[in-house]
Amino acid sequence: MRFTVSPRGSSGRARVGALFVGDSPIPIETPALLLSTKKGLPVFLSRDLLSSLSSPNPSLLHVSPVHFLEGPTPSVISSIGGLHNMLALQNCIFVASSRDAIESLPESICANKLGASFETPGGRRLIKPSDYMEVISSLKANFWASLADEVPSWVSEKRNKLSVDRTVQWLDNCIALDKAGGTNIFGSIVGGSNVEERRRCAAEVAKRNVSGFFIGGFGLGESMEERPRLLSAVLDKLPKEKPRQISGLDLPEEVLQGVAAGIDLFDSMYIYQLTIGGFALVFPLDILKGQKFSIQLVDGVDATKINLRATVYRRDTSPLVDNCSCYTCQNHSRAYLNHLLNVHEMLAQILLEIHNTHHCLGFFNSIREAIKCDKFDLFCKMFIEGRRAHLTTSLSS
């Protein structure tokens, strides 16, 4: 792996980077979104749809080792040749970390000194570093985060401190058990809502021989207001030349917060949650070119998305977003999506996931462009103000 990063003066800590993986001459540009998966495959996107979305860049996928606890077994996965071969996604980049927001939720009460605990569809599972590493070594993901003891923001100081101790300890265990000799580990950093613990954990992890960092414990109850301070506490301690991944920052504003703090990779179940809820993202992507939030969002709850279940779309023959180049918008109308949702047809989720993924990837592209032209602060400001203006308009009308 090779990672080059070029911070820009007026964009503060926000940075654009290029992540070169393996022998591929095509870098992954950061800040970037890791698409969520179940057992390694995007939930509703088959391989043909996936490649059409990310082309020409390789797709960047998040995978949770916890999803494989019930199978296929590590020996079968290894024998098939790891994730890339098993999923026939040889050109995709996989980044493994245990947590997701749906099927692998950290369960801090049941974690103990032996391992981390997760709420999964198959029940609660305690995972020791050795179990974790057995799955990790079979998956052969391009990058993977060490096992973390993630706790919500409301736990006691004592419990929070313990989670830092355990997470650092488990990082050492993971490094010791790593057959690849630590060439693609992201060291996990926790510390909850305590700035001191955040610093301590970041400093300890930064001392280890890791290729990058996984910042855990966000999106677990802390307020948006306290987040910038916590993020700076962590990122101040990390070397600039290594990539930083975060979990739990989902909404567009939260992503902007993370980018502003200097995060490079985001894993998130946001697209999945939108899709399951019947929502399509519609917020403007060309904000710097003056594109405005639509004022015609009749049901625009928050001005970023529309609910396709709403009866107002019953005879709406327009695409989800005008001029969107995704497969869904090129081929189908809001009326058809509304119908598919009404009759509970799976194609609704497939088509929504295509559009929402396309839209989110476009959002990250806009972010990178804004940083490149030193206008990231302006981009954030216009995004947030544009949205607020829309909300004010719709409230007063």
Q: Report how far residue 155's alpha carbon sits from residue 161's, in angstroms, rounded to the nearest whole number.
A: 10
The answer to whether the beta carbons of residues 206 and 238 sit under 8 Å apart is yes
Residue 280 near other proteins by CB under 8 A:
no
Is residue 79 near other proteins by the rule CB under 8 A?
A: yes
- Angle at CA of residue 54, ends 343 and 282, nearest 5°: 50
Instruction: Report how far residue 144's alpha carbon sits from residue 210's, in angstroms, rounded to the nearest whole number.
Output: 10
CB 154 within 8 Å of CB 143: no
329 is in an annotated binding site: yes
Q: Which of 4, 10, 76, 385 binds other proteins (CB under 8 A)?
A: 76
Answer yes or no: are the C-beta atoms of 184 and 211 closer than 8 Å. yes
Q: How far apart are CA 268 and CA 368, in angstroms?
A: 18
Q: Does 67 bind Zn ion (CB under 5 A)?
A: no
Residue 9 has what DSSP assignment? Answer: G
How is residue 309 written in tokens?
Answer: 């279940």
Instruction: Kindly state the tokens that stand for 324.
Output: 């969107």
329 counts as binding Zn ion under rule CB under 5 A: yes
Query: What is the Cα–Cα distance from 344 to 259, expressed in whole angstroms?
Result: 37
Considering only residues 352 to 391 of the shown chain, the ones binding Zn ion according to CB under 5 A are 355
Residues in contact with other proteins, total (CB under 8 A)? 40
Please tell me whether residue 123 binds other proteins under the rule CB under 8 A. no
Interface with other proteins, residue 350, by CB under 8 A: yes
Residue 333 interacting with other proteins (CB under 8 A): yes
Nearest to 31 by CA among 244, 361, 264, 215: 264
Candidates 145, 324, 341, 370: give the one binding Zn ion (CB under 5 A).
324
Of the residues 292, 314, 381, 388, which one makes contact with other proteins according to CB under 8 A: 314
Which CB, 156 or 330, lies closer to other proteins? 330
Q: Which partner from the list other proteins, Zn ion, none does 341 bind, CB cut-off 5 to 8 Å by kind? A: none
Nearest to 215 by CA among 230, 196, 226, 225: 230
Q: Find the shortest distance in angstroms from Cβ 141 to other proteins.
A: 16
Q: Is 279 exposed, middle or buried (0-12, 13-18, 19+ CB in 10 A)?
A: buried
* 105 binds other proteins per the rule CB under 8 A: no
Q: Is 145 in the site for Zn ion (CB under 5 A)?
A: no
CA 189 to CA 210: how far, in whole Å? Answer: 12
Compute the distance between CA of residue 397 and CA of residue 376 in angstroms, rounded to an integer.
31
Would you say 325 or 397 has its CB closer to Zn ion?
A: 325
Given a contact cutoff of 8 angstroms between Cβ atoms, the answer to whether 272 and 37 are in contact is no
Q: Which is nearer to Zn ion, 161 or 358 (CB)?
A: 358
Q: Does 43 bind other proteins (CB under 8 A)?
A: yes
**Of Zn ion, other proteins, none, which one sits near residue 342, judging by CB under 5 to 8 A according to partner kind?**
other proteins
Closest approach, Cβ 327 to Zn ion, in A, equals 8
CB of 329: closest distance to Zn ion in angstroms? 3
| Cβ pair 307, 299 in contact under 8 A | yes
How many Cβ atoms sit within 10 Å of the Cβ of residue 82? Answer: 17
Q: Considering only the stretches 34-42, 204-212, 227-235, 281-289, report the one whose residues sit in contact with other proteins under the rule CB under 8 A.
A: 34-42
User: Least distance (Å) from Zn ion to the CB of residue 282?
Assistant: 9
67 annotated as ligand-binding = no
Which parts of this chain interact with other proteins (CB under 8 A)? 38-39, 41, 43-44, 46-49, 70-73, 76, 79-80, 86-88, 121, 314-315, 317, 327, 331-333, 335-336, 338-340, 342-343, 345-347, 349-351
What residues make contact with Zn ion under the rule CB under 5 A? 324, 326, 329, 355
